[in-house]
Amino acid sequence: MARRKLVAGNWKMNGDRAALAELDAIAAAARAAPGVDVAVAVPATLILSAAERQPELDIGAQDVHAADKGAHTGDISAPLVRDAGGHFTIVGHSERRADHGETSADVRAKAIAAHRGGLRVILCVGETGEERDAGEAEAVVSRQITESLPDGADGGWLTLAYEPVWAIGTGRTPTPDDIAAIHATARATLRGLIGDGADGVRILYGGSVTGDNAAAIFAVPDVDGALVGGASLTAAKFVPIIEAAARAG
């Protein structure tokens, strides 16, 4: 089944209003690559400004709370993201799982809340270096998908992102064969959970993706795009990844 490539940027805790100027060139690259979907998850403080500045770009959040509203100081809900002009959210990023102790049950609840609030979801899974060295990478990813996947998961609103934790921000990337093996496991796990609907769910690769290695990554079977961290902060680094996705078709 043919799936459109998706290149999603995650600015993490970076970017002020001046940084929004980068979105202009990113939007231009998106227009020049009509076969590729381009999205940017900006800090919550920038969602409204980003959506107003570049309404043609898919702007989203980096996390949401599992509740729609309430006494949750410092958190942001899916309805609030939607009201600010956001269209999607990331959930389960490895930094949330590690730094904030989020479990797969927490991630599942957030994905459900995001969908209920009208947002699309990029759900992250991935193994640590210790788990990979122990030969547990595929089992860990399969378990995380099984425990994190929300009811009613569908490719129309859900995207999976595989991010080997040990590769994020390190400049290291798995070999193409390593990536292919995990993406095949992820696809098989999805099929076991949602049947033929799994073929409509995009699976992104995330972990030190750059303009230099993007083409090789996009050539790997079952890689439907990328979740990009540091290289998404500037158009100069992000645009070549979008262009590589366009060439990959």
Catalytic one among 93, 102, 115, 127? Answer: 93
User: Could you tell me how many helices (H) and strands (E) the chain has, helices first?
Assistant: 10, 8
The tens digit of pLDDT for each residue in 78-119 reads 999 999 999 999 999 999 999 999 999 999 999 999 999 999
Q: How far apart are CA 101 and CA 82, in angstroms?
A: 26
The pLDDT value given to residue 51: 98
Classify 205 as helix, strand or coil.
strand
The pLDDT value given to residue 40: 98
What average pLDDT does range 187-191 have in this prediction? 98
Q: How far apart are CA 40 and CA 152, in angstroms?
A: 25
The pLDDT value given to residue 1: 63
Catalytic one among 127, 131, 138, 163? Answer: 163
Range 5-35+47-86+100-241: architecture per CATH: Alpha-Beta Barrel (3.20)
The tens digit of pLDDT for each residue in 108-167 reads 999 999 999 999 999 999 999 999 999 999 999 999 999 999 999 999 999 999 999 988
Tell me what percent of the residues of the chain surpass a pLDDT of 90.
94
> What are phi and psi for residue 77, nearest 5 degrees?
-100, 165
> Active site includes 93?
yes
Structure tokens at 61: 């959040």
> Active site includes 102?
no
Q: pTM score, two decimals? A: 0.97
Q: How far apart are CA 179 and CA 206, in angstroms?
A: 10
Locate the domains of the chain by residue range: 5-35+47-86+100-241
Residue 49 buriedness (CB in 10 A; 0-12 / 13-18 / 19+): middle
The pLDDT value given to residue 171: 80
The pLDDT value given to residue 169: 79
